[in-house]
Amino acid sequence: MKRGRVPSAFADSPGLFRWQGQPWGAPGPEEGVVVVEAPLEIAVGDALVAILMRTPGLDRELAVGYCLGEGIVPNAEAIESVETDGGEVAQRVTLRLRPGVSVDAEKLSKPRFIRSGCAANTPGDWACTVPPLGAGAEVADSALRGSLKLLAAAQEAYKVAGGIHAAGVFSASGEAVVVCEDIGRHNAVDKALGACVLRGIPLGDKFLLGTGRASYEFVTKSARLGVSLVASLSSPTSLSVQLADVLNQTLVGYVRPRRFVVYTHPWRIRRAEP
């Protein structure tokens, strides 16, 4: 599919913006699409906790994944309801918690503005309070390499516009459970994890594959929700490797059709039968 040509089933996506411009050296104007970048407010009760620059779509999933992955909400059972402001494209998502649920008052009192490329953090956020993971999933190397093709096949926005990240949750046998796209790599992870939470899909026996750099948030967000193996098409950072080692999480980088690099806890990956 030529990038910029939008299939009819995808033409009205709120995540795409149509444009008309004059390519340099072309005889006339051309039409195309780019991905949308727009703010979304996330609130827990009456407290605004974050404003994310994101690509519209799966906003409820994004809010749930963000609040759980950041440790703002203690667990999925604490959430009573997830509400949007009712607009065609959501401006705000509010999580209502069950009576008696206690949350970190400090996190509720410090809303953060998070750009599409990276997160905004205070010095205290660097302290990792995530408990180490258990045994988790055992994944065949063929399933890990095969998930790359499934992730690419599901990236509808990338096919027509480019400039957008993806993250997918996969079963240990390599089947795609959910794949989500967003302009922010962390948002894509939050959407994928949040989608599983809202659908009641357990994450302890799954693995996560993302297109963006595997930073420390890639590790901590997924570990908080029990994902024992995370992989990226790109490179990890020094902090993500150190954290994954401490958290008993398998971290994989540079996933390609024929190879990948395992940075921590390689015992979860087994060589497939010939």
Active site residues: 118
Provide the 3-class DSSP secondary structure of residue 63. helix
- The rounded distance, in Å, linking the Cα atoms of 170 and 112 is 30
Q: Which residues pair with 34 in a beta bridge?
A: 17
Cβ neighbours of residue 269 closer than 8 Å, sequence gap 6 or more: 138, 139, 140, 141, 144, 229, 250, 252, 262
- The rounded distance, in Å, linking the Cα atoms of 139 and 143 is 7
User: Where does the chain have alpha helices with state H?
Assistant: 59-69, 105-108, 141-153, 156-161, 185-198, 216-224, 238-246
Q: Which residues pair with 41 in a beta bridge?
A: 51, 92
Tokens found for residue 49: 């906790």
- The rounded distance, in Å, linking the Cα atoms of 269 and 249 is 12
For the packed helices 185-198 and 59-69, what is the interaxial angle rounded to 10 degrees?
100
3-state helix, strand, coil in the chain (%, to 5): 30, 30, 40
- The residue assigned the tokens 């060589």 is 271
